[in-house]
Amino acid sequence: MAPGAPGHGDVLYQQNHEGVWRSTDGGQTWHDITEGLPSSFGFPIHVHPRDPQTIWTVPLNGDMAGRYPTDAAAAVWCSRDGGATWTAQREGLPQEACFFTVLRQAMAGDRLEPAGVYFGTNSGSVFATRDEGETWQEIARHLPTILSVEVM
């Protein structure tokens, strides 16, 4: 479960094997905001440090099709309206034969302006955006499986 932006404690998000969910009452009730994503399966979610309406997630195919990006083309999906609509952010990410997984704790962000977002893969790569997802670049490769990403 990902908290919303600091100071917005009642807004919470979670991504799990069944979809992406949003709560506006501190987790008392949850609303499915998966519509518009390519699948309901995935692990990581990150909330913008100053705007609880902006979130990023990496949906995957799921257990039956294999835990890798849909169509084997990587995308981080972003919503800037609390999950009402989603946009695929692909610039700089592998678009062919991409079979990595991004695990639950393997996505994090910084508090810079604009906000940076980072994720690691089970194939040992770390990708970063320093412009809130407009462009991505691989900043490390050939590492062991990345289980967690933290930003300092």
Classified as helix, coil or strand, 72 is helix
Predicted confidence (pLDDT) per residue in 74-119, tens digit? 999 999 999 999 999 999 999 999 999 999 999 999 999 999 999 9
In terms of Cα–Cα distance, which of 149, 144, 146 is closest to 56?
149
Average pLDDT, the chain: 93
For residue 7, is pLDDT > 80?
no
Query: CA 101 to CA 83: how far, in whole Å?
Result: 22
In this prediction, residue 46 has a pLDDT band, given cuts at 50, 70 and 90, of very high
In this prediction, residue 5 has a pLDDT band, given cuts at 50, 70 and 90, of low
pLDDT of residue 12: 94
For residue 17, is pLDDT > 90?
no
Predicted confidence (pLDDT) per residue in 116-147, tens digit? 999 999 999 999 999 999 999 999 999 999 99
Q: Domain segments of the chain: what residues?
A: 2-140
In terms of Cα–Cα distance, which of 35, 31, 26, 38 is closest to 65?
38
Per the CB < 8 A criterion, the answer to whether 128 and 118 are in contact is yes
What's the average model confidence in pLDDT over 55-66? 88
Query: CA 79 to CA 57: how far, in whole Å?
Result: 9
For residue 8, is pLDDT > 90?
no
In this prediction, residue 65 has a pLDDT band, given cuts at 50, 70 and 90, of confident
Architecture of domain 2-140: 7 Propeller (2.130)
Classified as helix, coil or strand, 9 is coil
The residues pairing with 118 across neighbouring beta strands, listed in sequence order, are 108, 128
For residue 54, is pLDDT > 70?
yes
**Residue 113: partners with Cβ closer than 8 Å, 6 or more residues away:** none
